[in-house]
Structure 1
Amino acid sequence: MLILQKQKGMVRSVDLARHMGYAKPSISHAVTVLRNGGYLTTDTDGYLHLTVAGREIAETIFERHQFFTNQLIDAGIDPAIAEEEACRLEHAISDETFQKLKRHLLRKEEDENTH
């Protein structure tokens, strides 16, 4: 939803269904779960809006997604496959492990750039 919001501004359930390739009932169920969890709201026109808590989580997942996608592409993996794999990795790794991995790779890049 965050990606679509950045691209289109306003997002509806049908937009999510098209973008993600899921059936509308599956998206409707997910939207209900997220709304009940306090992560998004729906306005009277049917547009979805992330709450502050929802946006924080979405930004964290998006950062991971970009990081893993870029690392996989840099390793020579086809960009389409890297996108798919990043989607799985971003949810499977703990925050602690992600932060340590990110710091490790940044230090490694800095070392390579100074030599």
Structure 2
Amino acid sequence: MEIHESAENYLEAILALSEKGSVRSIDVAQHLGFSKPSVSRAMSLLRDNGYVTMDENSFLILTPAGREIAETIYERHRLLTQWLTWLGVPPEIAAEDACKIEHDLSPETFQALKDHIGKHPQLNQG
């Protein structure tokens, strides 16, 4: 299943924010630094495509398809940030760069990176 990078970012944000509690569109807007109308439009598209639902309290809920995408991107983000930080990149820059890289890596390259990190315990310190 192929979706746009922007949709992946929205789904990843919902997942990350949901670790702290219920998520509304305004939370996503603040997290990503986007306007509320832009996020509302994106949430409408994500709902129409079956990635997100909204409950009676206007809380956003990832569907299984949305959660799968969000977890994949979030895992990539965390691992890439950890790896870049280990290489000596300042944490803030590592997180920004990971956000740029996470969408473009092939599954094969990401798996190779995961395998490499798994073989080097010092990389798992993050």
Instruction: Assess same fold via TM > 0.5.
Output: yes
- 1:46 paired residue number: 58
Is 2:18 the partner of 1:18? no
* Max Rg structure: 1
**1:53: Cα distance to partner?**
1.1
Kindly provide the amino acid, as one letter, of the partner of residue 77 in structure 1: V
Is 2:109 the partner of 1:97? yes
**1:32: Cα distance to partner?**
1.4
| % identical aligned pairs | 51
- 2:16 paired residue number: 3
Cα separation, 2, equivalents of 1:30 and 1:96: 29
**1:101: Cα distance to partner?**
2.1
Kindly provide the amino acid, as one letter, of the partner of residue 46 in structure 1: S
Cα separation, 1, equivalents of 2:92 and 2:72: 21
Is 2:75 the partner of 1:63? yes
Aligned length: 108
For the aligned residue pairs, the C-alpha RMSD in angstroms reads: 1.2
TM-score normalised by L of structure 2 = 0.80
Is 2:57 the partner of 1:33? no
Q: Structure 2: where are the runs of 5+ without partners? A: 1-13, 122-126
Residue deviations 1:60-88, cap 9 Å, x none? 11110000000011111111111111111
**1:102: Cα distance to partner?**
1.6
After TM superposition, which residue ranges in structure 1, 4 or more long, deviate above 2 angstroms? 104-107
TM-score normalised by L of structure 1 = 0.87
Describe the SS at the equivalent of 1:76.
coil
**1:34: Cα distance to partner?**
1.1
- 2:94 paired residue number: 82
**1:105: Cα distance to partner?**
3.3
